[in-house]
Structure 1
Amino acid sequence: MHEPLATDLLPGSDRRVDYHLAETLDGLYVPYALRTPAGEGPHPFVLVAYGNGGGGLAWLRERAHRFRHVTDRLLEAGYACAWVRYRTEVELGYQRGGRLQVHGRQGMELMNRAPLEYEDEVAVLRDVAERPEIDADRLFHLGVSHAGEMLFKLLSQYDGLLRAGVAAEPASHELLTLDLDGEPTVESEDGLRDIESLQMRTVEHARSRITEPETVSERLDGVDIPVLVLGREQDELQGIFRLTYELLAEKRSDAEWRSWSHDVHGYIYPEVGDDGVAQVDEVQREALDVIVDFFDRYR
């Protein structure tokens, strides 16, 4: 089924946003907000994601409108693209759950665990790949913060889906098995860690907290595409961002790193005013140019 659930017009743009539902691996549905460029397809596609999950269609619609500049820029470069929404993160679900396994029972499916948020991205990618206006062999991923880590989680367990990916300010503490219990700014209540004030500004600090280096190595062995990792100079987690790149670069010669100084976490997603005009500074403009150039090289 390719008809949209709903459609929005965006001020100052002739490229609308269509809301669709993708069936998740366990038979539920997650929404995504698709935009396609002018011209005849099939088009390459970029999945656009930010942070933790939850919020549903209300969150998605706000992103599609207020943070549309990144999709405007991708459309201009000839990419179809979609802001996506997924389920909420499960604390250490990736670390403890292992690879998802699906078997049968009573004519239906049986799973060893529930799908996790990055597997909702898998569902969206598979759904998009079936659309006639999308080139299924040219799918890309752009994720910021927790969604940057999600790119690596996805790649560690699902191969052959993506052509290339960008992990911006990836909060990769779970991917890298970092021990946070001894960090003075981290508290835990009922088994859930409050890491909002976590500080790991240096690579040395982050590297010293790795608890399972062999597990990390195996996870990064699953990365089967070029990945550009983006940092932010004054970010409290810059050490984690850089360490993610350095460990990946030990595996792949096509891993890339860029970092800028900016006051906003998630700076590659500039906001758009009610008039449809993006509030973009020079750093954001340069970073988006670098991202598009990176995708173009693997297009």
Structure 2
Amino acid sequence: MSGTAPAPAAPTPVMVEDVAGSDRPAHYLLAESLDGLYIPYALRLPDGPGPHPFVVIAYGNGGGGMAWLRDRVHRFRHVTDVLLDAGYACAWIRYRTEVELGYQTGGALRTTIRQGMGLMNRAPLEYEDEVAVLRHAAAHPAIDGDRLFHVGVSHAGEMLFKLLSHYPGLLRAGVAAEPANHELLTLRLEDVETVTTIGGLRDIESMEIRSVERARARISDKDEVAARLEAVDIPVLVLGREQDELQGIFRLTYDLLAEHREDAEWRSWSHDVHGYLYPECDADGVPRVDDVQREALAAVVDFLDRHNG
């Protein structure tokens, strides 16, 4: 029997929610993680039939589950509105909690089969939940699986680099805003006066590394850092924040990446809010967006557009 095979059906969402001021709802989907659990993400699609380029949107450490995700979808919806208007499908995602130095000590994830089921050398980490979401979204009939992008802020900016070091060929380009790359860059923190360790877990909430020189001097394994950055196979835009306590780490990330890739880009603004790339809605649900945030979001869209062809 001849004929064209039917197009794959869109996955069934577990929930659909309207988003204020928009006719483009949030479709809550579940992507199977590499170890068989499920990772929620909230997909919004732009107008038109597609297939559309797709942007994963991530912020900070993991945890919080569906309640965290729903709050982000509505309270920080402006970034998705901007991307939708530019023609990008996009999704806020949620992932598992960070494991202290799990990336540093765990190495690459290896899998095999024992007794007909999977076996791993370690548990997946939070950036591997992003891999699961990207692969799941790539199979959606309204998404172009060859045009996948990543926008991550703070810890999620570091997650982008961790993902790239172990999973090449997945993304077209990425944005790392205020990336907290102390683990990726193997920074020695034991003697930083504002860092304490309790029960084997470091408290870095008050850490200050504002200068590039101070950050560079704390790299403990230059060869390993070089290998991690050499594995980056896409253009990355690194965004800083002038008054941030970790601005030295943000800028050093760009400087080292630029040694390996001519298409690395750097922009930095002065702003009072960590995570300024994601404007927040006020108590009435209206996004409060200042000129710096508009300029930064326009720079992100421009960067994505230049690598979307």
**Pairing of 1:23-42 with structure 2 (within 5 A):** 23-42=32-51
For normalisation by structure 1, the TM-score amounts to 0.99
Matching of residue 231 in structure 1 with residue 240 in structure 2: yes
One-letter amino acid of the structure 2 residue matched with residue 180 of structure 1: L
**Pairing of 1:34-113 with structure 2 (within 5 A):** 34-113=43-122
1:164 corresponds in structure 2 to 173
Matching of residue 211 in structure 1 with residue 204 in structure 2: no
Deviation at 1:274, TM superposition (A): 4.9
For 2:282 and 2:194, the matched residues in 1 are separated by 35
Length, aligned pairs only: 299
Please, which of 110, 126, 141 is the counterpart of residue 150 of structure 2?
A: 141
Please, which of 266, 273, 291 is the counterpart of residue 282 of structure 1?
A: 291
Deviation at 1:273, TM superposition (A): 3.1
2:4 corresponds in structure 1 to none
Give the match's secondary structure for 1:243: helix
Give the match's secondary structure for 2:266: strand
Deviation at 1:272, TM superposition (A): 1.7
One-letter amino acid of the structure 1 residue matched with residue 38 of structure 2: Y
Deviation at 1:277, TM superposition (A): 2.3
For residues 157-195 of structure 1, the C-alpha deviation after alignment (integer angstroms, 9 at most, x for no partner) is 001110000000000000000000000000001110000
One-letter amino acid of the structure 2 residue matched with residue 216 of structure 1: V
One-letter amino acid of the structure 2 residue matched with residue 167 of structure 1: A
Give the match's secondary structure for 1:264: coil
For 2:63 and 2:231, the matched residues in 1 are separated by 27
For residues 246-268 of structure 1, the C-alpha deviation after alignment (integer angstroms, 9 at most, x for no partner) is 00000000000000000000000
2:185 corresponds in structure 1 to 176
Give the match's secondary structure for 1:15: coil
For 2:97 and 2:191, the matched residues in 1 are separated by 26
Identity %: 72
Conserved 8 A contact 1:12-1:275: no
2:272 corresponds in structure 1 to 263
One-letter amino acid of the structure 2 residue matched with residue 249 of structure 1: A
Please, which of 21, 24, 47 is the counterpart of residue 12 of structure 1?
A: 21
For residues 114-171 of structure 1, the C-alpha deviation after alignment (integer angstroms, 9 at most, x for no partner) is 0000000000000000000000000000000000000000000001110000000000
Conserved 8 A contact 1:12-1:276: no
Unpaired segments ≥5 residues, structure 1 = none
For normalisation by structure 2, the TM-score amounts to 0.96
Q: Which runs of 4+ in 1 moved over 6 A?
A: none
One-letter amino acid of the structure 2 residue matched with residue 32 of structure 1: Y
2:125 corresponds in structure 1 to 116
One-letter amino acid of the structure 1 residue matched with residue 260 of structure 2: K
For 1:275 and 1:82, the matched residues in 2 are separated by 23
